[in-house]
Amino acid sequence: MGFKTKDGYNVVKKDMVSKDQAIGGLIFLVCAVVIVGYLATLIVPSWLTSIGLQISDFDVRFWLITIPVVIAFIAILCIGAWIGWTMATTPPPKPIEEIEAEEKEEEKKEAKKEKG
């Protein structure tokens, strides 16, 4: 299962990939297939007619560009809405003067404890 290198280090050879590695590999594979399919359809949309879809090249290109743009636009708006909601519902911080006053009071209390 394992072996030693010439420097004397023990190396364990793993025969199986972990669950995270398998999921990562699957995500990579799906993304690579989608990229190839997207680019192929964008460049040569007529291949869709060979599988039985009766749609014009213009319509295919239009929707291939429109759908990701709309998704990205909505995602940006959702991030903006989340930032706005967070800012609207977060209470304001204490003024610096108030924080400094509290620190001075704590220092006075600590000084009294050290003396007493």
Q: Tell me, what's the pLDDT at 71?
A: 97
Q: The domain containing residue 10 runs over which residues?
A: 2-115
Residues of the chain predicted below pLDDT 50 = none
Q: Tell me, what's the pLDDT at 15?
A: 67
**pTM greater than 0.85 (yes/no):** no
> How many domains does the chain fold into?
1
Q: Tell me, what's the pLDDT at 75?
A: 98
DSSP 17: -
Q: Which helix (H) or strand (E) holds 78?
A: helix 57-89
